[in-house]
Amino acid sequence: MVKTIICLVLGCAQYALGSEPWDMSFELKSHWKDKYLLECGALCYDDDVIQSEFIVGFENGLHFGAWHSLGPDGNWNNNYGDEVDWEAFWKGKMGRYNVCFGMLYFDVVPIFDLPKGDIMNPFLKVSRDFQLETGKSLTPHAMLTAFYPTRGFWEKGCFLRIGATLNWDMTKDFLVSQRTELVYGDGAFKQDSGFFADLGLCLSRRLNKNMIWDIIGLRVTVPMTVHDERETDTVLSSGLRCSWK
């Protein structure tokens, strides 16, 4: 399955690199979370973290960015609440479908001690938008991700996520987003293979044309057919999202 994902990512690259590259956009996000829960549903750090991301995008769909997690002690290289991730990906339209594919590099503690304990993460996501009624849209999606430890005790593997996101403009300023996913893992990170549910809900407010305040977010993960250390868990969050073109 890992080789399949890499072939899909490389196979889409020819389509991605066809247009003019130099009109740029910028995204900046920063959120407080009451714990750091990994995408696989495992608890990474059981305390407050500030997680921020900066992305530069080009008109041809290429994007480059960095993501940072900082634990409560303010020491950026001290525990598993601290992390720096590097991103390179393409996103855009292929017919009626939204496509995003690329590579992430997870630089975990000890940060910049490459490549000890780090992880490479190629991914491919396909979605499609459906307008339900004025102010409401539904976006089903499927996402394949692979994890390659560069060195250390992690186990390589893949995750398949199938789900949908419902976006609702309650008023001109207030938004609600609800995400529902069924996730299958094949044993990455020395975990059981099997299914778990990953659910999200967020209430947001538009502050201006460039800035959105995510007032309160809730993420819930529920193991279904796995019997390892993962348990039903919740994450609370709040933060800001900014974008400029």
Q: What is the DSSP letter of 144?
A: E
pLDDT digits 0-9 by tens, 115-153: 666 888 999 999 999 999 889 999 999 999 998 887 666
Contact 148, 119 (CB under 8 A): yes
pLDDT digits 0-9 by tens, 35-70: 999 888 989 889 999 999 999 999 889 999 999 999
Of residues 158, 150, 185, 193, the one with CA closest to residue 2: 158
Question: What fold characterizes domain 2-244?
Answer: Porin (2.40.160)
Beta bridge partner(s), residue 127: 98, 141
pLDDT digits 0-9 by tens, 191-216: 889 999 999 999 999 999 999 999 99
Q: Exposed e or buried b for every residue in 171-181, given b needs 16+ CB within 10 A?
A: eeeebebebeb
- Token pair for residue 149? 């430890």
Q: Which residue has the tokens 């002690």?
A: 73
Dist CA 194 CA 182 (whole Å): 10
In single-letter form, the type of residue at position 215 comes to I
Q: Place 2 in a pLDDT band, splitting at 50, 70 and 90.
A: very low
Contact 222, 3 (CB under 8 A): no
In single-letter form, the type of residue at position 34 comes to D
Does the pLDDT at position 113 exceed 80?
Answer: no
Q: What is the pTM of this model?
A: 0.86
Q: Which residue has the tokens 């020395």?
A: 190
pLDDT digits 0-9 by tens, 159-185: 999 999 999 999 999 999 999 999 999
